Structure 1
Amino acid sequence: MHRIYLVPALVGLLTSVAAGPLAAQSAVPKQKAAPAPRAVAAGAAPAAAGAPVAAATETSTAGADDKTAKAIDGFRAAKFGMSEADVRAAMIKDFNAKPDAIRAQDNASELTHSLLLSVPELLPNGGTAELSYVFGYKSKSLIQIGAVWSKATDTAMTPEKLFSNANILRAHFMGEGFKPDSIAVNMPVAGGIVMFRGSDAKDRSVILLLQGTFENKENNQRVLTPTSLLLFYVADAKSPDIFKLPPGQF
């Protein structure tokens, strides 16, 4: 079973991507990061199966249009601040899930609690993803939702599929009206590429991260081999509701 974290280390990775610190959930345990699809301009064709792909280095802060500003209040029927019972009901409603298909998991270091559910075709033709709903240490309410696509969630997953999923989601988020100065795309970070990062007026964030391993190829070109795609919806990126030792205790 995957260990669910609100990974403090990811704050450092993503602070260079957009204004403000960022805490993000990882549905991957403490292990070597999985390789990830290339992050290139929207519309580019994927590489052949199993082939490494070049990572873009461009960023953008002007992707949002003039439509109504996007509000990030959760994912589908599950809204930030909901109780575990309400989130379970939302998961059953959204995915016609059987109650015993929803698994519970605790994080011993952050003292958070999570619900997990495998969902086939969460993204049309995108393969099976694992959803995770994280409840805060103090509030006991929903603070974060994540989705992971990888070989661990779907044995038929391929680099092309991950790359396609990433491009589809990035194009979708680019048109959603996030705060222009919060938007970043195609930013290499340790272990992968942030395909998209954006926040709403209340600084609730969406992060789309391709994980992988970089290699240096000809002409000093850095190449990323894809294995996993992570999508996060974060209620409070600056101060996540997780256990922290009070200052001065040690």
Structure 2
Amino acid sequence: MRKIYLVPALVGLLTFVATGPVAAQGAVPKQKAAQAPKAAAAGAAPAAGAPAAATTEAPSAGADDKAKSIDGFRSAKFGMGEADVRAAMIKDFNAKPDAIKAQDNASELTHSILMSVPELLPNGGTAELSYVFGYKSKSLIQVGAVWSKGTDAAITPEKLFSNANILRAHFMGEGFKPDSIAVNMPVAGGIVMFRGSDAKDRSVILLLQGTFENKENNQRVLTPTSLLLFYVADAKSPDIFKLPPGQF
């Protein structure tokens, strides 16, 4: 079973994304990540060879009317207890109770429940969903979805790129705070395809992970191995165990 070590990593990721473009010049995906994101057709793959670049979206007329509010994922809402989240998972995915597995994180002292979901994204393959409960609150603080060979043996790098492009295009039209939006940001071990926050700083992060190869013209080319999607209640100050100051 995949170990869930998600919450603290997102704090550094959000910080790095804010300053990443200069440090990551020359990194490119194997398929082009559009500088001005447009709706991508399912299964359509961009052309190869163009540099990944940070992009922010300017506010549009009426943006306040469609401002995004991130309150969880589908019927599972931030702040819910485990019993309510399990009920939401069963409702959302017509799942059997024994399909939901539990897992504890010994370092963060958080608790997670996980479930495999075929076609979470239409034609996207099987994903694994994880619902993370906070150390102190014992309530839902994060929902994650992962697509990889570990979740679906038939998934391919091309499918991961396609899934990432479809989700990025969707999120770009969702009304996130314009100054919080970043796309196509190279980071260690992958590319942040999308990052955005709502008015309460609850965040969505879409991360394409893989291995980079150095190619001609000083370009680094990414071969994706997994796609990670996070819905996070508080990425800057997550409800996880931390040693009190002065103990060591």
TM over 0.5: yes
CA pair 33-160 structure 1, distance change in 2 beyond 3 A: closer
State the distance in 1 between where 2:24 and 2:244 align: 21
CA pair 227-51 structure 1, distance change in 2 beyond 3 A: farther
Is 2:193–2:207's contact at 8 Å kept on the other side of the alignment? yes
CA shift at 1:10, angstroms? 4.0
CA pair 162-31 structure 1, distance change in 2 beyond 3 A: closer
CA pair 201-19 structure 1, distance change in 2 beyond 3 A: farther
CA pair 86-110 structure 1, distance change in 2 beyond 3 A: same
CA pair 180-19 structure 1, distance change in 2 beyond 3 A: farther
State the distance in 2 between where 1:19 and 1:62 align: 28
Secondary structure at the counterpart of residue 52 of structure 1: coil
State the distance in 1 between where 2:108 and 2:29 align: 14
Secondary structure at the counterpart of residue 53 of structure 1: coil
State the distance in 2 between where 1:5 and 1:33 align: 27
TM-score under structure 1 length normalisation = 0.82
CA shift at 1:120, angstroms? 0.1
Deviations 1:29-80, CA, capped at 9 Å, x for gaps: 999999999999999735x99999999999999997863x000000000000
State the distance in 2 between where 1:25 and 1:86 align: 45
Deviations 1:186-242, CA, capped at 9 Å, x for gaps: 000000000000000000000000001111101111100111000000001111000
CA shift at 1:85, angstroms? 0.2
CA shift at 1:14, angstroms? 3.0
State the distance in 2 between where 1:51 and 1:187 align: 13
CA pair 85-175 structure 1, distance change in 2 beyond 3 A: same
CA pair 33-114 structure 1, distance change in 2 beyond 3 A: farther
Is 1:149–1:230's contact at 8 Å kept on the other side of the alignment? yes
CA pair 75-9 structure 1, distance change in 2 beyond 3 A: closer
Which segment drifts farther, 29-38 or 239-248? 29-38
Secondary structure at the counterpart of residue 25 of structure 1: coil
CA pair 27-234 structure 1, distance change in 2 beyond 3 A: farther
CA pair 73-126 structure 1, distance change in 2 beyond 3 A: same
CA shift at 1:16, angstroms? 3.0
CA shift at 1:17, angstroms? 1.7
Consecutive unaligned residues in structure 1, runs of 5 or more: none
CA pair 214-30 structure 1, distance change in 2 beyond 3 A: closer
Higher helix content, 1 or 2: 2
Is 1:179–1:200's contact at 8 Å kept on the other side of the alignment? yes
CA shift at 1:88, angstroms? 0.3
State the distance in 2 between where 1:175 and 1:74 align: 18
Which segment drifts farther, 8-17 or 116-125? 8-17
Which segment drifts farther, 3-12 or 54-63? 54-63
Consecutive unaligned residues in structure 2, runs of 5 or more: none
Which stretches of structure 1, 4 residues or more, deviate above 2 A after TM superposition? 6-14, 18-46, 48-67
Which segment drifts farther, 99-108 or 52-61? 52-61
State the distance in 2 between where 1:195 and 1:13 align: 12
1:225 equivalenced with 2:207 (yes/no): no
Is 1:55–1:224's contact at 8 Å kept on the other side of the alignment? no
State the distance in 2 between where 1:10 and 1:29 align: 21
- The answer to which structure, 1 or 2, has the higher relative contact order (CA under 8 A, 6+ apart) is 1
